[in-house]
Amino acid sequence: MSDGARSRMSGRVREGTSALLISTDGRLLMQLRDDLPHVSDPGKISLFGGRREGTESFLECVVREIHEEIGYYLPPERFELIGQYSGTDHLTPNGRLHGQVFLARDVPIDQLKVNEGRLEIVAIDELERIRGRLARAAEYALEIFLKREPIT
């Protein structure tokens, strides 16, 4: 067993992925998290994604998680890696968080069936109205995205 797999199993390191999804009309497709105590970032607006399972790659993880959470299959080639993060895990005492953030474009809103939380559709030029409601992962991904594609 690799050190990474052993660390993931012990709970010291949490590894996962998330994706910033852009609709066919250029809006952000985000997840309004359920406001329940057992849910991470309850009531916050976040990205779709989740934890790695077994030996799957970060790309395999994001493909699986997005399909599970939005009910629409996006093949691996639709995802572009835009960032990585590593640092303190605010959900696990003395834990670390390692992850990758992906971008997928041209996602058809009318074909989605969100299975966790609710779909939050946000025009890129309206990000200020939700800024205080964003989960940390969403803030990080949007910061990367806006550096690449500033609002004009």
When pLDDT is cut at 50, 70 and 90, the band that residue 89 belongs to is low
pLDDT at 136 over 70: yes
Summarised one tens digit per residue, pLDDT across range 37-51 is 777 776 899 999 999
Q: How many structural domains are present in the chain?
A: 1
**At 49, which CATH number?**
3.90.79.10
**Residue 11 has what pLDDT?**
52
pLDDT at 135 over 90: no
Question: For residues 140 and 85, is the Cβ–Cβ distance under 8 A?
Answer: yes
Beta strands (DSSP E) in the chain are 13-23, 28-32, 45-46, 48-51, 79-88, 96-107, 118-122
Q: How far apart are the first and last CA of the chain?
A: 49
Q: How far is CA 66 from CA 6, 7, 75, 89, 96, in A?
A: 25, 24, 10, 22, 23
Residues 6+ apart with CB under 8 A from 102: 17, 18, 19, 20, 59, 62, 79, 80, 81, 82
Claim: this prediction has a pTM higher than 0.85: no
pLDDT at 1 over 70: no
Summarised one tens digit per residue, pLDDT across range 121-133 is 999 999 988 989 9
Summarised one tens digit per residue, pLDDT across range 46-81 is 999 999 999 999 999 999 999 999 999 999 999 999
Residues 6+ apart with CB under 8 A from 8: 14, 15, 52
Full domain range(s) for residue 73? 3-148
Q: How far from chain centre, in Å, is Cα 113?
A: 17
**Residue 12 has what pLDDT?**
77
Rg (CA), the chain: 15
Question: For residues 64 and 56, is the Cβ–Cβ distance under 8 A?
Answer: yes
